[in-house]
Chain A
Amino acid sequence: MSAVEDIATEAPAVEAVPKRAMTIGAGTSLVVLALLFAVPIFAKNFIVFQMTMLLIYGLAVLALNILTGGSGQFSLGQSAFYAIGAYTSAILMEQYNVNYALTLPIAGVICFGAGFLFGQPALRLSGVYLALATFALATAMPQLLKLNFFEKWTGGVQGLVVTKPDAPFGLHISQDAWLYYFTLVVVVAIYIFSVNLLRSRSGRAFMAIRDNEIAASAMGIDVALYKTLAFGVSAGITGVAGGLGAIAVQFVAPDSYTIQLAISLFLGMVVGGVGWLPGSIVGSAFIIFVPNIAEGISKGLSGAVFGVLLFLVIFLVPHGARQVAIVGQQLLSRLRK
């Protein structure tokens, strides 16, 4: 059996998700958006901060979702791109006094470049091998950030403290609320961009590659280009999330961006439903709130409790939030009849 046949007969790494099933209806989207918009009016600052983190991690999970759910490539290295984005924003803001809003597109572009470049050698790898290669990137990143050579900019192991922006135009809302709305706007914009991307010609190319690489190339899709492009887009969005994260947390340090973060994002994607973009927010909620719940149940065994909860989720709803949403929809339509 030749290598080509081998690949051809191999089951696709990720289950095919039809592109219409990747999003939710306009009505539901508007309701969710309205709810998100109302949060700071009713919630305390701490909750607003948590919601901001929810959106930021949601964005990072979304980026991974485009890569894995869209183009079928695995990555355990998202923490590296998140770190590059965070450091780009932090360094520009603190060392060069760039406005925080401007640092985000720069972070996105730099990460797009990094992801695109990393995608080149990664082309030769697929499935678990690609996951391992990206894993290497994630383990290397904290050490690279500690290097003496970069210390002038990165602050070395001590990290950098970032100043939180005030609300502009003399708006009388707290810094937290302002940052929340700012994040919300960025996230919604990128969400709309992502949905459109996946519905576009490029998105169809991603999905064709995911479902069957050889068939895709036979159809005339430049497999190498689109695979690296998917990596670049995913890394770019992750970078924007990283930049927002640095502003919200007000601190960057190498130890914030370990492999643990990459695994959390991966977990968020699986729990939210691979390939289902709205699930990113659900997955992000899982990685933020479930550890807190686990800690509330038992401090000494928080890791074990988290493991049990995760196991239950994977066992009961293997397709994550998407499955729950589909079941819910069916129940609703049955009620209407």
Chain B
Amino acid sequence: MDFGRNIIVAALAATVLAATAGGVQAQKKYDPGAGDTEIKIGNIMPYSGPASAFGVIGKTEAAYFKKINAEGGINGRKITFISYDDAYSPPKAIEQARKLVESDEVLLVFNPLGTPSNSALQKYLNGKKVPQLFVASGATRWNDPKTYPWTMGWQPSYQSEAHIYAHYLLAEKPDGKIAVLYQNDDFGKDYVKGLKDGLGAKASMIVAEESYETSDPTMDDHIARLKASGANVFISITTPKFAAQALKRLAEIDWKPLQFLANVSASVGAVLMPAGFENAQGLISTAYAKDPADPQWDDDPGMKRFNDFLRNYDPEGNRLDLATVYGYGAAQTLVEVLRQCGDDLTRDNVMKQAANLKDFAPDTLLPGIRINTSPSDFAPINQLQMMRFKGQRWERFGDIMTGDVGD
């Protein structure tokens, strides 16, 4: 019966081998900031200073990780979320990032906010090989995996949104004369570039451009000059306060062009209501997230989870603030990445998994919009849907569009 015994021995050996091999695969690997019980996440937000309204994002994220910890953490590990204030100042952001990396020893820096601050961090974090994951800014430069393999954006880039408007205009209003109002900073300029690239050979359709500073008290002069150009299309690349002022002023001077509004300002509660719904009829914009002020999402399972979260973990959070929706979605994406990492919590693997998101849909994204990334595509959300304002709400129309912007 030697033969039978041999088989048993061989089988046993195979099992042992398989088990060891499995053991090797499941071996726990850690970089600084990760361990058997804890994952340390760093974050930088402008809690004070000119952009302090965005501080809500950091607070929402902290609350979301509290929820994850209360539910048992990620693969048994609790998240420690360390968030510092940079007051929207790049030198301060560098100081805080160094504190996070060198003193607190976090595994990664998650969702730091603002183009100037992140531009300052990009070189440092890439030099240190620390993930600068899901940057909270729509600049195009975060999608450049060749030069900056440790940096990844999250939201659709400003340029891709502008591309979508350009395509729409070329198809629907090829004889349009375009007037552009934009904020004189990285956000506005990135956008104008996207618009011109999108129009391509027909960039001459733009007949007037006006830039404003965030310190300007009104938009009146700018609007008057744009109207005088004889344009019949008005593109408003503005942040909420100025978007509302511009909408109102257009109505006051009785100028009725086809109007486009950048999606950062497409908030019903913060912009359109103060500007007056009657002044916003027919306005065109885009969206990738659900607007909590919109009653059509009242029965949506994703938004129900969002509302439950606010009730239980973030009672101070404003449900109607789009920044709350943003923080929730970004935090959910990070949790997905860390879940995919399993027991291999190295910085290398974090980036590998972040570049390996397949059809992931956070609760707050529009139906049909999915997060997809790959080693050559570091733009998690690159889909948008166009929408038109009618009555007291946005009506989405057309297909989900992808604004392709290659670096």
List A residues at the B interface (Cβ < 8 Å): 44-47, 49-50, 53, 139, 143, 146, 156-159, 161, 245, 249-251, 253, 255-256, 258, 260-261, 291, 295, 299-300, 302-303
Contacts and interface: CB of A to CB of B under 8 A. Distances in A.
B84 A161 contact: no
30 contacts: A44-B103, A45-B102, A46-B98, A46-B99, A46-B103, A49-B98, A50-B95, A143-B213, A157-B184, A157-B185, A158-B115, A158-B141, A159-B119, A161-B120, A161-B122, A249-B90, A249-B120, A250-B120, A251-B120, A253-B119, A255-B89, A255-B116, A256-B116, A260-B49, A260-B89, A291-B85, A291-B87, A295-B84, A299-B85, A300-B47
Nearest to B89: A256
B88 interface: yes
A118 B213 CA distance: 25
Contact of A245 (B91, B99, B185, B186): B91
Nearest to B51: A255
A143 to B, nearest CB: 7
Given A143-B184, A251-B90, A300-B47, A295 B85 contact: yes
Q: Which of A47, A158, A258 has the most CB of B within 10 A?
A: A158
Contacts of A249: 90-91, 94, 120
B155 interface: no
Contacts of B116: 157, 159, 253, 255-256
Q: Which of B49, B119, B122, B189 has the most CB of A within 10 A?
A: B119
Interface residues of B, number: 33
A299 B102 contact: no
B91 A53 contact: yes
A158 B193 CA distance: 13
Contact of A302 (B48, B59, B184, B213): B48
B124 interface: yes
B90 A46 contact: no
B83 interface: yes
B65 to A, nearest CB: 15
Contacts of B102: 44-46
Contacts of A251: 90-91, 94, 119-120, 123
Q: Which of A45, A143, A295 has the most CB of B within 10 A?
A: A295
A250 B84 contact: no
Contacts of B91: 53, 245, 249, 251, 256
Given A44-B102, A159-B116, A299-B47, A255 B83 contact: no
B87 A260 contact: yes
Contact of B119 (A158, A258, A302): A158
Contacts of B213: 143
A94 to B, nearest CB: 12
Contacts of B101: 46
Q: Which of A49, A143, A255, A258 has the most CB of B within 10 A?
A: A255
A44 B124 CA distance: 16
